[in-house]
Amino acid sequence: MQPLENIRVLDLSRVYAAPAGSMILGDLGAEVIRIEHPDGSDSMRDWGPFIEGQSTYYLCANRNKKSITLDLKTESGRTEFKELVKDADIVLENFKTGDMKKMGLSYDVLKEINPRLIHCAVTGFGQTGPLAYEPGFDPVVQAMSGLMDVTGPIDGEPTKVGIPIADILTSHYVAISALSALRMRDLTNQGQFIDLALLDVQISSLANVASAYLNAGMVSKRLGNSHNNVAPYQVFQCADGPLMVCAGNDRQFEKLCVMLGHEEWINDPRYKSNTGRKENEEELVRQISDIMVTRTREEWVEELRHYKIPGGCVNTIEEALTQPQVIARDLIGEIEHPQYGKVKFVKNPMQRSGLNIVYQSAPPILGEHTDQFLLSKRV
């Protein structure tokens, strides 16, 4: 048994944020039906690299789903969709604000067909505000949210995160808001409309950076791999490459001093408190750097673990996906697809007793299940 058995999701979305959200629901047992235009409407299918003609980008967000094709700009397509809505629990879409209304498929229309329906709309900027009708893409949101301004080298240009972080965070909120709406429906027997915006999500994820400005007027600076509030808390170069070290409190710093053979730093007024360490960070980091570069990463990792100081190698993607901890956690899975063979993927990270996440199917090819669901195809 899975927690979302008997929940049906009609997924009209494209690219990453919303499809990755519906994939989480599919992992939890929901029946997720991707609905695309017959000519294909997801540009992610065109982004390489490819295996057997299938985009690896598309593969990372669409397992445990079925695929049908409908042209919602036609009367027949809208009629078919409305039939599917009758038995659906969730409609997920990321059309530009107003597009569903133009097609005659707004929440006001759909809830008349199914009052228990949960409609989740994902856009760049939400359903209200001066930018409501503008398209929003992950890098643009990273820029507008201030994230890029606090990311990158001290003397370099603002830098986007190496993954589509605004999309990824939004996908989590898709799942959270859908689950909470389902729970509310248990109590009220009514569906609801969910308005999710990438910019809202990324602004809410500024965490301590936002709090520092809102409460203390502090505008955080771009510090490369250092930290705005804590020291030493950064990357150090070792004899064979970079290593992240995080002495997050005074006790951990004391242990770091012992590890480095500089117990005198513990009571040094410049370094005794985190405030002092931040004020004298340049000199402290220089001294630590001179020591760290004398040994290899693995030698230092062994020392860090001995002293219980948080730290780890700055891995390449290959190193990250093949490290013993990832293998031990069984995070890499494989699904067989009859058309393009074996598909490897990173598993859902939720691990707990009784959750029972099942990887039933590889990401579908366009329209693979159309005949199974559409009335016109079954006649």
- pTM recorded for the entire structure: 0.92
Give the CATH number for residue 267.
Answer: 3.30.1540.10
DSSP 115-177: TT-EEEEEESS-SSSTTTTS---HHHHHHHTTTGGGSS-TTS-----SS-HHHHHHHHHHHHH
Question: HSE (CB half, 13 Å, CA atoms) of 167?
Answer: 22
* DSSP label of 213: H
Same domain, 285 and 196: no
In this predicted structure, the answer to whether residue 67 has a pLDDT above a threshold of 80 is: yes
Give 377's pLDDT tier (boundaries 50, 70, 90).
Answer: low
Q: Domain ends where: 263, 287, 315? A: 315
Same domain, 177 and 249: no
Residue 269 lies in a domain: yes
Same domain, 187 and 123: yes
In this predicted structure, the answer to whether residue 379 has a pLDDT above a threshold of 80 is: no
Same domain, 193 and 112: yes
The residue assigned the tokens 């994230």 is 147
The two three-digit tokens of residue 173, written as one number: 């909120």
Would you please indicate which residues are annotated as catalytic (active-site) residues?
167
Same domain, 254 and 302: yes
Give, in order, the Cα–Cα distances in Å from 371 to each of 35, 60, 68, 376: 13, 25, 8, 8
Instruction: For residue range 16-39, list pLDDT tens digits in order.
Output: 999 999 999 999 999 999 999 998
What pLDDT is recorded for position 210? Answer: 97
The parent domain of residue 136 ranges over 8-205+329-378
Contact present, 30 and 9 (Cβ < 8 Å): yes
Same domain, 249 and 141: no
The least confident of 145-159, 208-222, 278-292, 334-348 is 334-348
The torsion angles phi and psi of 100, rounded to 5 degrees, stand at -65, -35
Q: Domain ends where: 272, 289, 315? A: 315
Q: Domain ends where: 315, 342, 369? A: 315
Contact present, 167 and 148 (Cβ < 8 Å): no
What is the rounded distance in angstroms from the CA atom of residue 262 to the CA atom of residue 258? 6
Same domain, 177 and 294: no
